[in-house]
Amino acid sequence: MRWDKLFDDLEAQLAAESRLELDAEVADRTRAERAKVTLVERLVGSLGSSVEVQLLGGQRAGGSVADVGRDWLVLEGASGPTLVPTGALVAVHGVARRPRSDASARRLGLGYALRGVSRDRRPVHVLDTGGGRTSGTIDGVGADWLDLSEHAVDEPRRTANVRASRTIPFASVAAVVSAVH
């Protein structure tokens, strides 16, 4: 009878030790898998969900995640679409914990997205990483810069309406917000 209790106790200790080892292995694998997930993958997991982003320069933007590229996202909010370079993000509130297996980010970079905005010829507000805001029409997009003709957003982009032209490096762009709702 004593031997039975001893063997039962040893068996219980072995089972508890095995459970601890399995728990530790699961935790290690979970950490290893999480370490491979990028922010862009989590943003893709948030497609259709509402998020709020804090940008370099202190500005905030919010809306539903409408599109995600390799280094940008588009939020669809009350003020219209907002293109946000991921490099300008300080924090994202409401982002999905896990990526979606049925969706992926567009391979297009920020330059391609900005060229699409430029082709649209609609006025925009460019928020910069210093907290500033410039309004006008994107005239051209290079490898790492954009040219913005400044004019009132309620006026068409005509030579007579352009007050100034500025070149803005991508690194200084916090967001591009549609000025037309």
Residue pLDDT, tens place only, 130-166: 999 999 999 999 999 999 999 999 999 999 999 999 9
How far is the CA of 87 from the CAs of 15, 73, 90, in angstroms?
Answer: 49, 11, 8
On whether both 30 and 57 belong to a single domain, the answer is no
101: left (phi over 0), alpha (psi -120 to 50) or beta: alpha
Taking all residues of the chain, what is their mean pLDDT, rounded to a whole number?
A: 91
110 and 47 in a single domain? The answer is: yes
Query: Is residue 21 pLDDT above 90, yes or no?
Result: no
Contact 82, 175 (CB under 8 A): yes
- CA diameter of the chain: 102
154 with 181, same domain: the answer is yes
Same-domain status, 100 and 48:
yes
pTM above 0.85, yes or no: no
Q: Let me know whether 142 and 70 are in one domain.
A: yes
Number of domains in the chain: 2
Residue 113 has a pLDDT of 97
Q: Are residues 7 and 52 in the same domain?
A: no
- Note down the domain range covering 20: 1-36
pLDDT at 2: 76
- Reported as a single tens digit per residue, the pLDDT across 72-128 is 999 999 889 999 999 999 999 999 988 887 888 899 999 999 999 999 999 999 999
Amino acid 31: pLDDT: 65
- pLDDT band at residue 174, thresholds of 50, 70 and 90? very high
Give pLDDT, residue 108.
Answer: 94
Task: Give 50-76 pLDDT, tens digit per residue.
Answer: 999 999 999 999 999 999 999 999 999
Parallel, antiparallel, or unpaired for β 164-169 and 173-178?
A: unpaired
Kindly state whether residues 11 and 58 are assigned to the same domain.
Answer: no
